[in-house]
Structure 1
Amino acid sequence: MASLLHKKWFKWSLISGASIVAFFTVIYISVYLGFFGKTPNSKDLSHIKQAEATQVLDANGALIGKYYIFDRQPLSFEDFPQHLIDALVATEDVRFYQHDGVDNVSLLRVFVKNILLRDQSAGGGSTITLQLAKNLFGRKDYVMFSMLINKFKESIIAKRIEEIYTKKEILTLYLNTVPFSDNTFGIESASRKFFNKPTKALSLSEAATLVGTLKASTYYNPRLHLKRAEARRNVVFQQMLNNNYLAKDAFELLKSQPLNIDYKSFNHDVGLAPYFRAEVKRQLAKILDSIKKPDGSSYDLYRDGLVVHTTLDSTMQVYAEAAMKAHLTDLQKAHETSFGTHAPWQSKSQLVTSLIKELPVYKSYKKAGLTASQIIDSLSKKHKTTLFSWEGDTIKKASVIDSLSHYLKFLNTGMLSINPKTGGIKTYIGGIDFRFFQYDHVSQSERQVGSTFKPFVYTTAIENGMKPCTYFSLASVTYTNYDDWTPTNSGASEDDPYINYSLEKALSNSVNTIAVKVLNEVGILKVIEQAKRMGITKELPEEPSLALGVAEINLQELTGAYASFVNESKHVKPYAITKIEDKNGKVIATFKPEVAKEQDYSDYTRQVMLQIMQSTVNTGTAARLRSTYGLKNDIAGKTGTTQNNKDGWFVGITPHLVTVTWVGNDNHHIGFKTTGIGQGANSALPIFAQFYKSLNNDSQFKAITQSHLETPTDAVLNDLDCETEKRDGFLKRLFGSKKKEKTFKGN
């Protein structure tokens, strides 16, 4: 030994080794003392808090969405299946139960095999506790020696974590915070996203797949690289076999099975009911402003792990969205075909030319001093962009003008189904695709309601004493005090002026001329007052065209008003949220139905109107519910079509579900080319029909589909017992005038 000390190379080796040890020691002590920023102490670690996603549940407790910065849902240890724990330990930290946070044996193995022998099979030496420290506190860039400083800091934190928490608690913290693919944090969020099930229901194959992604969450993302993820899953099986967590025969069987995922995104823009979730989020922002935590601070929607219970039925929503997509796909084709080569959305059309000038980018270019031709040149430059279509999104080279023209052609929709007794929203469709069309046609839009307003007119008339068997002529009338306005009937070039309809036939066949006459008879102001009693808050126009639905009304209000026909004559206010809980399950807010305290109209009026609107479905404008779609349920309804076929409506009324659907173009200059395509019975009714057929085929909805509308009293049946139409006698036809002119007295 003495002779070695005199060797120059040995001296330098000792000096170098001592210097390295001294350097590492100095760095370690510096980290420990906080020279590179505070290292969490035992007190800090005993109160670990992590941002938790707010969960949105449907009426049956099913998860339908989240609001989050990091998609995380915490679980307790009891929620983890044992095979998940086994897969994790076998793959990530086989000596987890032996070490104190830093596995010196593994580190020595890594040093010898990886560094000295260049054997990459030795692994990384990182423990689950070290990974947890990194997950909880992240890593910082220290310019020099960042990796070394971060590793020392994580080792200090890991040892402190091991002193405070049990092994089970460490596994729980780890599985609740570890990052998975697609910006997903925690095993529960990953389980629901990739396999559409809670963690406790994961199979061994599914658990092994998720554990396998931890090595490289993007590279082994099962959504993007299924075969690669399957191969990595089999590596996890091999690790379980090697470490006695899996028998040989089970290993052989499992690795031969194909990997299947059931991906369910909770991205705010996709997934089930995105418009509904956006509306709930908007409402929560207001609600949480008025609620404080026990310590006086405000709740954070994105971090505090709230649980929001809603009225939505996710299964019904699936059926509604499927019905909408199926119908709109076909209707869009018919709509485009009907216009041919002269469609108003063509890039050089007058409409597109005018809309280009309204674009924010056009205005910004103009403000910058560019000429009109220079602006058009700029807006005509093509670049890769994703374009929506019913056949599937496509990536194309398109200019700003191309995109404007493309999206201008699409029909849009709004659909709302509610429980008429409470106003609880069961289905909610605000548009055709939230990614590309974020304007909500349920909560934000007001459109002309067309003939769906007529029941308000007839309700007023009956409530004010007009008998159901009152007859009105089909003949057109010119109202001289309203610019010689002459309402006509849709689809009829010349109605027989000598035919008279009862109220039942007039409404069930949506006769315009008679609706205006009924309005004239009862008075505009009375109709407006009745509509207000039924929950319509919009200021309505005091003009005879009100009878034909020129008023623009929000779809939610319209639905709530129609609910009165199956809710003892009381309108309701549609609502979405029933209660909000904090992350510990404590209820911090509850919401009750808003139902009119008094009847909007009498029982007699309600029963008469229900009978008339059942005739709409049985023999009137909505008869295709029976003839085309074969629905045999008790259904009352009303179709609606506005001027120039701009809007198509249908209202479907059943005892426990009221549904309103609207279809039209977002641009008011574009209507349907023909009434045949655009009438409510063709554009809006089929969505309801296909939706209801799905409900009929699902036994869990028998309480809705097999319920019956109320049986009217004998007095109502007697008053409706008359011929629905009659023809004027010979003398009246001889001396009567075919076309009348009169003053509208409606007020």
Structure 2
Amino acid sequence: MTAPKKSTSIYKKIGISLWIVFLSFIILFPLYIYSVSINFLNLYGDLPSYSALENPENDLSSELYSADGVLLGKYFRENRSQITYEDLSPNLINALIATEDYRFEKHSGIDLRSLFRVFFRSLLLGQDAGGGSTLTQQIAKNLFKTRESDGLLSDVPVIKMVIIKTKEWIVAVQLEKSYTKKELLAMYLNTADFGSNAYGVKVAAKTYFNKGVDSLNIQEAAMLSGMLQAPSRYNPSRNPETALFRRNTVLGQLKKYGFLTTAEFDSIKALPIELEYKVENHNQGLATYFRSVIKWFLLDWSKQHGYDLYESGLRIYTTIDSRMQRYAEEAVNEHMGALQKLFDEHWAGQNPWIDDNGKEIKNFIEDQAKKTDRYKSLVAHYGEDSDSVDIIMNKAIPMKVFSWEGEKDTLMSPLDSLRYYKKFLHAGFMAMDPHTGHIKAWVGGINHKYFKYDHVKQGRRQPGSTFKPIVYAAAIDNGYTPCYEVIDAPVTFPRPGQNPPSWTPSNFSGVFTGEKMTIRQAMAKSVNSITAYIMKKIGPETVVDYAKRMGIESPLDPVPALCLGTSDVSIYELIGAYSTFVNKGFWTEPFYITRIEDKNGNVLQEFFPKTGEALSEETAYLMTYMLRGATEEWGGTALGLSRELRSDNQIGAKTGTTQNASDGWFVGITEQLSAGIWVGGDERTIHFKDRSLGQGARMALPAYEKFMRKVYADKDLGYVKQPFKEPLKPLSTQLDCSKYAGNTLEADSLNTMEAFDENEIF
């Protein structure tokens, strides 16, 4: 009879023990939760503050927009953009719910049913039952980095995981109190990693399918939802078979929960994954050089104003017009591809780096290689006299190289690669509104991925004859008129104490005609002797002063040769200076940012260009008349522009060519637009052997024409052929050089003859 009593006593003790455990849990668990929430004694690490939960922060790409509202590009470490719930495709919402958290609408951050399932099946039965985390818990993990902790218990293996899960529970419950279910879904998809540097579903949809989030179909939504479990493993570009299996698993979940019928499931499951895979980077999209150059201004601005350009989600609005930018890039590419072919044929397997005597420069590539970062790093590692440096520099390795037919896979040594790339011609093109200063298009080179150097603002080269209008502007502002007559004869400048003791510039043809002509005709034909005559009359210092007034900030040597463009300037400065002629004598700084907003659309700063009066209004208009001479006078250097472009239109223009034809320039102005281009080799020793091929009218003018044709053809842009606007005040100078009419092309006789810069030496 004692056994039953003993058995009862044992059960009673077990029952009491279970009650003690249960009551202890009921009492201690809330205390534990509370201690984690306040980070008691710094045992667990901090939780996000209430304000952080109300205003969660995650790294957002800063976005650069064109004037017509097109996204030009982004600045990012992690490429991430925000969307709202309304932006989401229903297919994506359904796929996410079916795969990640079917009870999302029914729980308050913690799904107890899922937790019990995980406990019993995973811990007691050893089966894989998932992690039991809700979408809200995953937001806590993604957004608030709950798995990063500096508490005293954070390094204890098992306890660490318990603390992490506890933090996720606490944050998830707080998030559920602060946001609606729709907001939480959008928040989750904004914080998720989809691989390929695509953070957030907006970037992921663009990266994998080149479409907006609202346009995702069922199979695309299923693929993206499936990637969330393991972005690298299920990346459809790298692991297409694994990604397809995962996508179909998600489709199975959609069928399981009634989002798809069996027939729909069977049909969609059989479809392949169709990608338009393109990882967004800083070498792609429109205006790559522009984005790269202004980045430094934006970094400095962000630092001064307490922002991080790569993380703060700034919205930068620019003056660039995406349509004109595209036309400029197309025009430059079309022209430069053809010009490069001509250049290669011209040299026919020879090296294009030559000295003043036309001889190939010995050891040119070896000397250039010593300036590269690769060579310098090898020397730093192995020593300057080490054979290892030469071995590595001459060892062929697999690489991709740029070509005008597309990227090519090849084997090249670093020296061969340098030799290959030095043979390319480069370009810089810019177009701006001469009245507002707004830059409309900026093409800094032929390919930003392979050639980073910007030839619009960073690059400076001798402008040749494109500098002459500044000389003539100074003269006209000081009393000369476009009809002022000068004889084409030698002009000599003394050079006391120098060897030789004097300088007499020659014309391109090498002869002086003795012909009397107006300075309008002289500039139209680019006659050096007459420009030199004007320079001698007004003096180099006067010319430098006017150049500075018109925005030329590059150093200018106040010497006689300046009249022929011997001091380096940028196309950015030159287009700004020419715009002064159209803008009634007011120089306006070329201008590219209108405003910067924060991620919520609040305007942080608006920008306005610098401006100042450089010329009188009459002088400015007379200079448009002077520049029109290149398209209207017999022998004008811009007669190569087609009749279609010139007829019923007023275009002022100037070509420029340096002495050895290493630089070709062209600048054109109309009432609505100033634009210009520089073309040349990477080094000044790289150029055509024949100067007639290296003239600005051949090397640069065609790209301008292609651009303007495209601009005029797009009626939505609003650019039309028209005359330059005359000053309101009557001109004191009569533009009547009728006695020279025989040298002037009448409007109805415009032809398509090609006329090139045959009178230029600089």
Please tell me the TM-score bracket, short chain as reference: 0.7 to 0.9
The whole-number CA distance in structure 1 between the counterparts of 2:626 and 2:314 is 47
Partner of 2:320: 312
Q: Which amino acid aligns with 2:370?
A: K
Secondary structure at the counterpart of residue 63 of structure 2: strand
Secondary structure at the counterpart of residue 175 of structure 1: helix
> Does residue 352 in structure 1 map to residue 365 in structure 2?
yes
Q: How is 1:281-300 mapped onto 2 (pairs within 5 angstroms)?
A: 281-291=295-305, 298-300=306-308
Partner of 1:719: 736
Partner of 1:742: none
Q: 1:41 to 1:439 in 2, by over 3 A?
A: closer
Partner of 2:92: 84
> Does residue 326 in structure 1 map to residue 334 in structure 2?
yes
Secondary structure at the counterpart of residue 349 of structure 2: helix
The whole-number CA distance in structure 2 between the counterparts of 1:119 and 1:720 is 98
Partner of 2:666: 650
Partner of 1:341: 349
After TM superposition, the structure 1 stretch with the greater mean CA deviation from structure 2, 444-453 or 457-466, is 457-466
Q: 1:417 to 1:162 in 2, by over 3 A?
A: same
Q: Determine if contact 2:352/2:688 at 8 Å carries over to the other structure.
A: no
Partner of 1:488: 506
Q: Which amino acid aligns with 2:47?
A: P
Partner of 2:15: none
Secondary structure at the counterpart of residue 475 of structure 2: helix
Q: 1:685 to 1:111 in 2, by over 3 A?
A: farther
Q: CA deviation at 1:567?
A: 0.8
Partner of 1:127: 134
Partner of 1:559: 575
Q: CA deviation at 1:63?
A: 1.8
- Which residue, out of 406, 409, 432, partners 1:392? 406
- Which residue, out of 531, 550, 568, partners 2:547? 531
Secondary structure at the counterpart of residue 571 of structure 1: strand
Alpha-carbon deviations, 1:221-272, whole Å to 9, x = none? 4666789867766665554344333567876887788866666654233322
Alpha-carbon deviations, 1:472-513, whole Å to 9, x = none? 3334445454644332323x2545x23333222211122222
Partner of 1:710: 725
After TM superposition, the structure 1 stretch with the greater mean CA deviation from structure 2, 439-448 or 146-155, is 146-155
Secondary structure at the counterpart of residue 624 of structure 1: coil
Q: Determine if contact 1:110/1:125 at 8 Å carries over to the other structure.
A: yes
Q: Determine if contact 2:482/2:735 at 8 Å carries over to the other structure.
A: no
Q: CA deviation at 1:718?
A: 3.9
Q: How is 1:266-665 mapped onto 2 (pairs within 5 angstroms)?
A: 266-291=280-305, 298-344=306-352, 349-363=362-376, 369-371=383-385, 375-479=389-493, 481=495, 483-490=501-508, 492-494=509-511, 497-596=513-612, 598=613, 600-618=614-632, 620-627=636-643, 633-665=649-681
Q: Determine if contact 2:47/2:167 at 8 Å carries over to the other structure.
A: no
Q: CA deviation at 1:451?
A: 0.7
Q: CA deviation at 1:688?
A: 1.8
Q: CA deviation at 1:95?
A: 2.1
Q: 1:517 to 1:436 in 2, by over 3 A?
A: same
Q: Determine if contact 2:430/2:456 at 8 Å carries over to the other structure.
A: yes
Q: CA deviation at 1:355?
A: 2.1
Q: Determine if contact 1:28/1:149 at 8 Å carries over to the other structure.
A: no
Partner of 1:17: none
Q: Determine if contact 1:39/1:157 at 8 Å carries over to the other structure.
A: no
Q: CA deviation at 1:649?
A: 0.9
The number of equivalent residue pairs is: 701
Q: CA deviation at 1:79?
A: 3.4
- For structure 1, list consecutive stretches of 5 or more residues without a partner in the other structure: 7-20, 292-297, 727-747
Q: 1:468 to 1:209 in 2, by over 3 A?
A: same
Q: CA deviation at 1:651?
A: 0.8
Query: Structure 1 length normalisation: TM-score?
Result: 0.82
After TM superposition, the structure 1 stretch with the greater mean CA deviation from structure 2, 170-179 or 717-726, is 717-726
Secondary structure at the counterpart of residue 427 of structure 1: strand
RMSD: 4.0
Q: 1:357 to 1:614 in 2, by over 3 A?
A: same
Alpha-carbon deviations, 1:89-121, whole Å to 9, x = none? 12332222123434454566678888999998x
Q: 1:249 to 1:681 in 2, by over 3 A?
A: farther
The whole-number CA distance in structure 1 between the counterparts of 2:535 and 2:101 is 79
- For structure 2, list consecutive stretches of 5 or more residues without a partner in the other structure: 8-21, 149-153, 355-359, 744-762
After TM superposition, the structure 1 stretch with the greater mean CA deviation from structure 2, 178-187 or 469-478, is 469-478
The whole-number CA distance in structure 2 between the counterparts of 1:622 and 1:383 is 47
Q: How is 1:156-235 mapped onto 2 (pairs within 5 angstroms)?
A: 157-194=171-208, 198-200=212-214, 207-221=221-235
Q: CA deviation at 1:193?
A: 4.3
Secondary structure at the counterpart of residue 704 of structure 1: coil
Q: Determine if contact 1:28/1:152 at 8 Å carries over to the other structure.
A: no
Q: CA deviation at 1:719?
A: 2.9
After TM superposition, the structure 1 stretch with the greater mean CA deviation from structure 2, 479-488 or 253-262, is 253-262
Q: CA deviation at 1:470?
A: 2.5
The whole-number CA distance in structure 2 between the counterparts of 1:441 and 1:61 is 26
Secondary structure at the counterpart of residue 170 of structure 1: helix
The whole-number CA distance in structure 2 between the counterparts of 1:635 and 1:174 is 56
Q: 1:392 to 1:253 in 2, by over 3 A?
A: same
Q: How is 1:109-124 mapped onto 2 (pairs within 5 angstroms)?
A: none
The whole-number CA distance in structure 1 between the counterparts of 2:463 and 2:172 is 65
Q: 1:513 to 1:96 in 2, by over 3 A?
A: same
The whole-number CA distance in structure 2 between the counterparts of 1:75 and 1:241 is 27
The whole-number CA distance in structure 2 between the counterparts of 1:697 and 1:54 is 33
Q: Determine if contact 1:422/1:595 at 8 Å carries over to the other structure.
A: no
Q: CA deviation at 1:674?
A: 2.3
The whole-number CA distance in structure 2 between the counterparts of 1:415 and 1:28 is 68
The whole-number CA distance in structure 2 between the counterparts of 1:226 and 1:450 is 56
Q: Determine if contact 2:318/2:595 at 8 Å carries over to the other structure.
A: yes
The whole-number CA distance in structure 1 between the counterparts of 2:490 and 2:223 is 72
Q: CA deviation at 1:604?
A: 2.9
Q: Which amino acid aligns with 2:740?
A: E
Q: Determine if contact 2:146/2:167 at 8 Å carries over to the other structure.
A: no
After TM superposition, the structure 1 stretch with the greater mean CA deviation from structure 2, 512-521 or 214-223, is 214-223
Q: CA deviation at 1:536?
A: 1.9
Partner of 2:75: 67
Partner of 2:45: 38
Alpha-carbon deviations, 1:676-704, whole Å to 9, x = none? 33211121222222222222232211x22
The whole-number CA distance in structure 1 between the counterparts of 2:172 and 2:58 is 17
The whole-number CA distance in structure 1 between the counterparts of 2:273 and 2:719 is 39
Alpha-carbon deviations, 1:586-635, whole Å to 9, x = none? 22211112221x3x223332222212322313452222221597886542
Q: 1:98 to 1:206 in 2, by over 3 A?
A: same
Q: 1:254 to 1:576 in 2, by over 3 A?
A: farther
- Which residue, out of 708, 711, 715, partners 1:692? 708
Q: 1:448 to 1:92 in 2, by over 3 A?
A: same
Partner of 1:731: none
Q: Determine if contact 2:618/2:731 at 8 Å carries over to the other structure.
A: no
Secondary structure at the counterpart of residue 60 of structure 1: coil
The whole-number CA distance in structure 1 between the counterparts of 2:703 and 2:75 is 30
Identical-pair percentage: 38
The whole-number CA distance in structure 2 between the counterparts of 1:525 and 1:38 is 69
The whole-number CA distance in structure 2 between the counterparts of 1:548 and 1:626 is 27
Q: CA deviation at 1:360?
A: 4.7
Partner of 1:14: none
Query: Structure 2 length normalisation: TM-score?
Result: 0.81
Q: CA deviation at 1:402?
A: 1.9
Alpha-carbon deviations, 1:301-326, whole Å to 9, x = none? 22222221111112221221122222
The whole-number CA distance in structure 2 between the counterparts of 1:256 and 1:365 is 54
Secondary structure at the counterpart of residue 580 of structure 1: strand
